[in-house]
């Protein structure tokens, strides 16, 4: 059966893509304070777009930092309410010189749209708005009640969202939370993600002498902060790729044999990943496959490292400072604070003589895990099959949407992660893009899901 | 007996300092190509200054890069010829924000002159010119013949000087080479340095995936170049501070008991160094004192380290590249090429899986050592005693003047290192300065030395 919204979406496709481009042109980089005004512009753009789609009670709600965009439509025959969460902020764009077209000048080539935020997450937020609009335009009403909550600080760890949700429980009350910010398995293979890794992050600053020194006069006689930092960082992993921090794995829920079997049946092509990334081999914790490592195992990664001379040529300096940025991806039931404590203790225990080390904690978010036999997930599988004509996989994911766990906990709702991005679409990297095939099928999936939920029972 | 030059130097002191300031104002940073024109200006300034002092045959001699300044005066009654070597190039000035006054706006405070190059080495080159001028102005002639050879690439490893010396052996032929680019022991304690460490340097570049990756999607499954680099760098030293590279110490001439005893008798104040540098403890190779470590033991130092995100906040990136700059200080009889081979082999042997590493060799210079009972050194001790009224110490030094060994070898001359800088004058660091007390006494020492050499016998 062809639904009416299908025709509407086909007819307005070019117009929708142009509209999405205007959204992607706003450089809403939450990590950099110079983009403060752009954050506001992006939020205001959403307000206008939601109103135009037919949503009601559309408003910018202030937080301690970037505003949250709220909207709803609550006139459905069904008593079920769907809360859609997404984010309008994006990652920084450096190194800029590696982008083929500028990150904030969206460009469609080869049926993909290239821009920062195209897939993570502005593009997918936009799809939910257009799906609602298509249903309202063609059917005059929605099959279930709907609420939108779109934030502007996901890429910096959602520091203000959890207090916001706690303070607005009634406003946000719903029966299911739907989030599109996770990838499909691969092209043509949609997936529903039932687990996300958590996150915690910190900065290490190592201080030696009071100023930079001549490496001839002092070299060999005074501790070099770059050596100390290298030694601390090297001590964080064992040779087999495991994190060497005491207690790091204590609360990790082990993979079940059933899950390992299900992942094996996905026939994930590690060779293709190697080729795509142009590496001679994949590398990680011994005893786990690539999928298991990235979906179900915690990590500790250095995200940045700097100190001393970085210019052209040689400078024989013994620098006064060295710096590193670290983050951990966490899995159930690791607690961010426990891990930060353990890593910080390890750093202090492994600091060589002659330097002073400070650790500054930055982001944190708990890991998330859902029972995959839940009715709202089974309904999502039906919706996907309609749009993609293939059964979606049940997967977990390596990335973090720190608020998912908090949202679910605070509102006491099940969460469905229904993402349409593809791995290799360069989230967080130069040349981020989004395949338009999943723009089209994703819109159909969302519409079908809202209809499906109207006759699903749970709670 | 008061010499006539003493009165001349006293009388013209203010004028000489103003003149030195104009020299220090030229930002002759050889490591940065943007200062190419400044290098030429500094060389031309020297030409004018040497001519004004009464030197003859003053000329700019081209090299593949910055020109060498030559000058002579060869009408002495003595048959001895002194060759003075120095350099008019300086180190880069970053981090600029740590300078109290701008590096190229010389400022005299508290009887010290602050500027990049004030002590290393433009200030000391200037003193040799003024000493010759003082003798010519007051005595009408010099006690010995003199030649100047001032280069512009010492801070980048003197790549063109050794071929220049090899091609100009007759022009540069002399009986002793005098260089003022080494520090005194401390205030009021002059020193003649009979050993210098050599140098070799390299850059390590580590490459992982073809681009920066999202640490959620890929973290734990793909090698992180920052981890690989930290692990390589940490492997370069043992816990006792020794370099862990196979063969690194093979050709090191051990310290004699006589030398260790002489150094102990200097009663060097390690506590004062700790205080001056504001470190809780000094750190280095086990089994050696601070002086022994920095004067007589080879080192391997990281001079710079960079990769991934360095900006404000957090970026959960798994970067594609990581970089480090390394240099080794060498002692007799280590050969730079042997050490570069050994370190490069170690790096490749310690590269973890999943990354690609390249090593690029940059500077190199052999270590230098002189017999300290040589007559030209004994004559220098006499000259120092006249000016400072104290017997100078015989020392070695941790820094490198890469050409010293090559100069001595190519011209077959003894070398006297007669420096007037003080430790703590921030060579190569922000707020480089030079004590004017040693400007005054240094001028007297140089004048006295030239007179002393006229009745010293050697060869």
Confidence label for A365 from pLDDT (cuts 50, 70 and 90) = confident
Q: Are residues B361 and B371 in the same domain?
A: no
Is there a domain that residue A248 lies in?
A: yes
User: Does B315 reach chain A within 8 Å, measured CB to CB?
Assistant: yes
pLDDT of res. B217: 86
Residue A216 has pLDDT above 80, yes or no: yes
Are the beta carbons of A305 and B230 separated by less than 8 Å? Answer: yes
pLDDT of res. B1: 64
Helix (H) / strand (E) containing B107? strand B107-109
Q: Are residues B227 and B184 in the same domain?
A: no
Range of the domain at A356: 198-252+298-363
Confidence label for A180 from pLDDT (cuts 50, 70 and 90) = very high
Confidence label for B79 from pLDDT (cuts 50, 70 and 90) = very high
The rounded percent of chain A whose pLDDT value lies above 70 is: 100
Is there a domain that residue A149 lies in?
A: yes
Q: Are residues A88 and A124 in the same domain?
A: yes
Which chain B residue is nearest to residue A198, measuring alpha carbons? B216
Task: Provide the domain count of chain A.
Answer: 2
Q: Are residues A242 and A354 in the same domain?
A: yes
Is there a domain that residue A269 lies in?
A: no
Q: Are residues B235 and B130 in the same domain?
A: no
Is there a domain that residue B432 lies in?
A: yes
Which chain B residues are within 8 Å of A352, Cβ to Cβ? 283
Q: Are residues A52 and A165 in the same domain?
A: yes
Distance from CA of A270 to the nearest CA of B (A): 10
Confidence label for B192 from pLDDT (cuts 50, 70 and 90) = very high
Is there a domain that residue B135 lies in?
A: yes
Distance from CA of A301 to the nearest CA of B (A): 7
Residue A259 has pLDDT above 80, yes or no: yes
- CATH number at A51 reads 3.40.630.10
Q: Are residues B303 and B204 in the same domain?
A: yes
Q: Give the separation between CA B116 and CA B96, rounded to whole angstroms.
A: 11
Distance from CA of A274 to the nearest CA of B (A): 9
Residue A401 has pLDDT above 90, yes or no: no
Could you say which DSSP state residue B254 is in?
P
Surface of B (175-214) touching A: CB under 8 A: 183, 197, 199, 201, 208-214
Q: Are residues A237 and A335 in the same domain?
A: yes
The complex scores an ipTM of 0.76
**Cβ-based neighbour number of residue B44 at 10 Å:** 14
Is there a domain that residue A341 lies in?
A: yes
CB of B321 closer than 8 Å to CB of B208? yes
Q: Are residues B22 and B112 in the same domain?
A: yes
Residue where one domain finishes, among candidates A326, A346, A363: A363
User: Does A351 reach chain B within 8 Å, measured CB to CB?
Assistant: no
Nearest to B312 among A31, A220, A423 (CB): A31
Confidence label for A459 from pLDDT (cuts 50, 70 and 90) = confident
Average pLDDT estimate for A70-80:
97
Residue B352 has pLDDT above 70, yes or no: yes
Is there a domain that residue B24 lies in?
A: yes
pLDDT of res. A77: 96
Q: Are residues B381 and B345 in the same domain?
A: no
Q: Are residues A184 and A225 in the same domain?
A: no
Confidence label for A405 from pLDDT (cuts 50, 70 and 90) = confident
User: Does B229 reach chain A within 8 Å, measured CB to CB?
Assistant: yes
Q: What is the per-residue pLDDT across A379-394, written as a single tens digit (0 to 9) for each?
A: 999 999 999 999 999 8
Average pLDDT estimate for B431-456:
97
Confidence label for A78 from pLDDT (cuts 50, 70 and 90) = very high
Is there a domain that residue A258 lies in?
A: no
Q: Are residues A356 and A384 in the same domain?
A: no
Average pLDDT estimate for A158-171:
92
Which chain A residues are within 8 Å of B399, Cβ to Cβ? 214, 216-217
Q: What is the mean pLDDT of chain A?
A: 95
Residue B25 has pLDDT above 70, yes or no: yes
- CATH number at B354 reads 3.30.70.360
User: Does B308 reach chain A within 8 Å, measured CB to CB?
Assistant: yes
Residue where one domain finishes, among candidates A363, A385, A414: A363
Residue where one domain finishes, among candidates A344, A363, A382: A363
């Amino acid at each position: 059966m062809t639904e009416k919204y299908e025709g509407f979406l086909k007819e307005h496709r070019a117009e929708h893509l142009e509209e999405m481009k205007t959204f992607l042109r706003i450089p809403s980089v939450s990590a950099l304070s110079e983009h403060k005004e752009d954050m506001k512009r992006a939020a205001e753009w959403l307000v206008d777009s939601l109103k135009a789609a037919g949503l009601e009670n559309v408003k910018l709600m202030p937080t301690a930092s970037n505003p949250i965009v709220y909207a709803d439509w609550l006139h459905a025959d069904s008593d079920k309410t769907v809360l859609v969460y997404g984010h309008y902020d994006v990652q920084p764009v450096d190194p800029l010189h590696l982008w083929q077209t500028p990150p904030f000048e969206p460009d469609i080539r080869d049926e993909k749209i290239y821009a920062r935020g195209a897939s993570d997450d502005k593009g997918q937020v936009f799809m939910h708005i257009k799906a609602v609009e298509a249903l309202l335009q063609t059917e005059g009403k929605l099959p279930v009640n709907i609420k939108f909550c779109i934030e502007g600080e996901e890429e910096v760890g959602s520091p203000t969202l959890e207090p916001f949700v706690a303070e607005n429980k009634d406003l946000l009350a719903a029966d299911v939370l739907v989030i599109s910010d996770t990838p499909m398995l691969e092209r043509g293979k949609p997936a529903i993600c039932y687990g996300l890794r958590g996150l915690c992050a910190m900065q290490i600053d190592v201080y030696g002498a009071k100023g930079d020194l001549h490496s001839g006069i002092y070299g060999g006689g005074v501790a070099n902060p770059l050596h100390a930092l290298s030694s601390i960082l090297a001590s964080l992993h064992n040779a087999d790729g495991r994190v060497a921090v005491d207690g790091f794995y204590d609360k990790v829920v082990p993979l079940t044999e059933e899950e390992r079997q299900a992942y094996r049946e996905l026939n994930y092509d590690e060779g293709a990943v190697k080729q795509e990334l142009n590496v001679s081999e994949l590398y990680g914790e011994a005893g786990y496959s690539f999928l298991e490592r990235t979906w179900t195992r915690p990590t500790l990664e250095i995200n940045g490292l700097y100190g001393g001379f970085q210019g052209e040529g040689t400078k024989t300096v013994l620098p006064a400072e060295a710096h590193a940025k670290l983050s951990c991806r966490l899995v159930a039931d690791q607690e961010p604070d426990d891990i930060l404590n353990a890593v910080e203790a390890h750093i202090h225990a492994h600091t060589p003589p002659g330097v002073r080390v400070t650790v500054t904690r930055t982001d944190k978010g708990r890991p998330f895990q859902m029972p995959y036999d839940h009715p709202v997930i089974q309904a999502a599988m039906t919706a996907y099959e309609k749009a993609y004509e293939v059964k979606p996989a049940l997967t977990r994911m390596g990335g973090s949407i720190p608020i998912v766990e908090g949202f679910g906990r605070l509102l006491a709702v099940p969460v469905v992660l229904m993402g349409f991005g593809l791995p290799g679409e360069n989230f967080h990297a130069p040349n981020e893009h989004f395949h338009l095939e999943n723009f089209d099928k994703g819109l159909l999936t969302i519409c079908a899901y809202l209809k499906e939920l109207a006759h699903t029972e749970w709670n």
